[in-house]
Amino acid sequence: MDPLLAVSRLPKLAQNAMRASVVDALERGRMTPRAVINDALMRFERDVQSEAPDGVRPALLFSERDRIVRELRGFIDGRLATRLAALRHRDVFATGGRAAPFDAIVRNRFGHAYAIVLRRIPRDGSRLDLIRRIAKAAEHYGRVRLSGAVLYDFASGSARLIPVCAERTNPIRVPARASRRSVA
């Protein structure tokens, strides 16, 4: 594979492998650090082999593998992973393809449903566009009424709650104003 093409493709393959391993661990109900990281590395290797059967430069491959381990370790040590691991199996509504366009749909202890989105968020202007698309998808998700979407950034290790538009969850009813003009 051409090195320039590999540089652009490997991060996407790594992100997909990390997302799939976290979602599988959530689905199984066992989110151990070793299992999640090993599963992500195996998926990444398999995806790289299918994309580039002739191989990739070892330095590019190993740097992306190190990045996967570092980012997943940050995720697993964080609060979001702890809260996801503590969920009961019945509180996980959907994962993977059944939760599309999100990675998972879960219910918190108060009964509110949230979409879980795991991504490497770009640091440029497209970040705002991504957040807007996730918010719009959460508003129009039809299977379960969502209270919001939790967006986790693998690159920075931060999570952000994107609330669903207040108009959909709590419509404010304003009574029609009576006309000030008297009808003669």
Triad 125, 75, 107: Cα angle to 5°: 90
Q: What is the pLDDT of residue 123?
A: 87
State the average pLDDT over residues 99-114: 91
pLDDT at 124: 86
Residue 57 has pLDDT above 70, yes or no: yes
What sign does the CA torsion over 76, 77, 81, 86 have? positive
Separation in Å, CA 97 to CA 6, 20, 31, 101, 105: 27, 10, 19, 8, 11
Mean pLDDT, residues 90-105 = 90
Q: pLDDT tens digit string along 113-171? A: 999 999 999 888 888 999 999 999 999 998 889 999 999 999 999 999 999 874 544 44
pTM of the entire structure? 0.81
Q: How far apart are CA 70 and CA 48, in angstroms?
A: 19
Q: Of residues 149 and 172, which shows the higher confidence score?
A: 149
Burial of 154 per CB tally in 10 Å (0-12, 13-18, 19+) = buried
**Percentage of residues of the chain with pLDDT beyond 70:** 86
Q: Given pLDDT bands bounded at 50, 70 and 90, which one contains residue 70? A: very high
Question: From CA 139, how far away is CA 141, in angstroms rounded?
Answer: 6
Residue 152, exposed/middle/buried by CB under 10 A (0-12, 13-18, 19+)? buried
pLDDT band at 3 (very low <50, low <70, confident <90, very high): low
Mean pLDDT confidence for 1-10: 74
Query: Model confidence at 4, in pLDDT bands (50, 70, 90)?
Result: low
What residues does each domain of the chain span?
Answer: 1-86, 89-171
Pairing of strands 146-153, 113-119: parallel
